């Protein structure tokens, strides 16, 4: 059984992969090219792909009888894989839910606090050598404690964010999702997204990526937000219409944004990069040693189960 791992992994994950499987570890950090994906499907039994490895219907169409029978995705999000096309070609697909929840929620709070309190702007000011000292009206930002936050998508990650906001900062929670949720904190269900956007101080996007949520946050939703509102995205870049966001920021329709993901990642528009009221992170959602190792082990658990003929722990 031959295994391909599409990107370098943590030391612990690579050591386990070498010990348990006949593995090829790709040494570059860029996404698989089309030719590499075709090779992956034709020369390997199992592939561990990750974000950016675009296993589209076009790729599967180029491999009429793929040797590969499992895509054990490294990551909870799998919108880079056409699952229907994979299944039609005879492949199973798994992901790594759960392992990413707390780390991603922590980054959401990092973005919310950094943007609201102008911490990124302040850090750049100190580094520039232009800080002239404290004064009573220096860099006044927005208070966070006790404010109202709206969570778009109250799945595992959305709930983890809401708990941090409620129990850590005494914030009032409102949310939008397909249906009301039973949760262990007070939360107002607002089924209409525009209505949610209009009633909160902070709007945090935590929905899965994919065709159903592409441009969910569009010009209409941004117009509904308060001019003091701050938008945070830790979901997928394409969930937000990036052009509409730039226009809203330029027009002062919203006060700021905190982004960990981008519509055309890794390309980030220069306009966004020049805005002081926007916090920009390089997709750090799960970027801790512990979490990336847990994700790798979860992917390998799926591989091990497949090889042994057991039920897959995390099927899609």
**Residue for token pair 């519509």:** 263
- Among residues 3, 89, 53, 76, the alpha carbon closest in space to that of 306 is found at 3
124 as an active site residue: the answer is no
Which of 117, 172, 214, 283 is flagged as catalytic?
283
283 as an active site residue: the answer is yes
Q: Which two tokens stand for residue 29?
A: 């950090």
**Residue for token pair 């390998």:** 300
> How far apart (Å, rounded) are the C-alpha atoms in residues 297 and 94?
13
Which of 118, 236, 292, 297 is flagged as catalytic?
236
Around Cβ 178, how many Cβ atoms within 10 Å? 9
> How far apart (Å, rounded) are the C-alpha atoms in residues 265 and 281?
11
80 as an active site residue: the answer is no
Question: What is the edge-to-edge ordering of all strands in the sheet holding 230-233?
Answer: 188-189, 172-176, 148-152, 202-205, 230-233, 256-259, 278-280
What are the residues facing 267 on neighbouring strands?
Answer: 264
Q: Are 203 and 152 in contact (CB under 8 A)?
A: yes
From start to end of 75-145, where are the E strands? 92-94
> How far apart (Å, rounded) are the C-alpha atoms in residues 83 and 57?
9
Terminal-residue alpha carbon distance, the chain: 22
Give the residue numbers marked as catalytic.
Answer: 236, 265, 283
């Amino acid at each position: 059984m031959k295994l391909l791992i599409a990107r370098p992994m943590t030391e612990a994950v690579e050591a386990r992969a070498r010990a348990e499987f006949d593995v090829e570890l790709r040494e570059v950090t860029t996404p698989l090219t089309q030719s590499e994906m075709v090779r992956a499907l034709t020369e390997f039994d199992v592939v561990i792909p990750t974000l950016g490895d675009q296993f589209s219907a076009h790729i599967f169409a180029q491999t009429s009888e793929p040797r590969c029978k499992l895509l054990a995705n490294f990551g909870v999000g799998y919108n880079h894989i056409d699952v229907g096309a994979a299944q039609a070609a005879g492949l199973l697909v798994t992901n790594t839910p759960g392992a990413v929840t707390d780390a991603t929620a922590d980054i959401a709070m990092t973005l919310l606090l950094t943007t609201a309190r102008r911490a990124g702007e302040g850090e750049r000011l100190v580094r520039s050598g232009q800080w002239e000292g404290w004064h009573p009206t220096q860099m006044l930002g927005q208070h966070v404690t006790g404010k109202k936050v709206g969570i778009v998508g109250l799945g595992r990650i959305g709930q983890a964010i809401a708990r941090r906001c409620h129990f850590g900062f005494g914030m009032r929670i409102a949310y939008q999702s397909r249906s009301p949720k039973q949760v262990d904190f007070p939360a107002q269900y607002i089924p209409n997204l525009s209505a949610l956007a209009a009633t909160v101080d902070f709007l945090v996007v935590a929905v899965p990526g994919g065709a159903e949520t592409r441009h969910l946050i569009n010009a209409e939703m941004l117009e509904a937000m308060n001019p003091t509102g701050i938008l945070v995205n830790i979901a997928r870049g394409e969930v937000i219409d990036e052009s509409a966001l730039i226009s809203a920021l330029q027009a002062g329709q919203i006060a700021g944004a905190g982004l960990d993901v981008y519509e055309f990642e890794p390309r980030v528009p220069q306009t966004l990069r020049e805005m002081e009221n926007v916090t920009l992170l390089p997709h750090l959602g799960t970027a801790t040693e512990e979490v990336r190792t847990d994700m790798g082990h979860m992917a390998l658990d799926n591989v091990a189960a497949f090889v042994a003929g057991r039920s897959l722990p995390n099927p899609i």
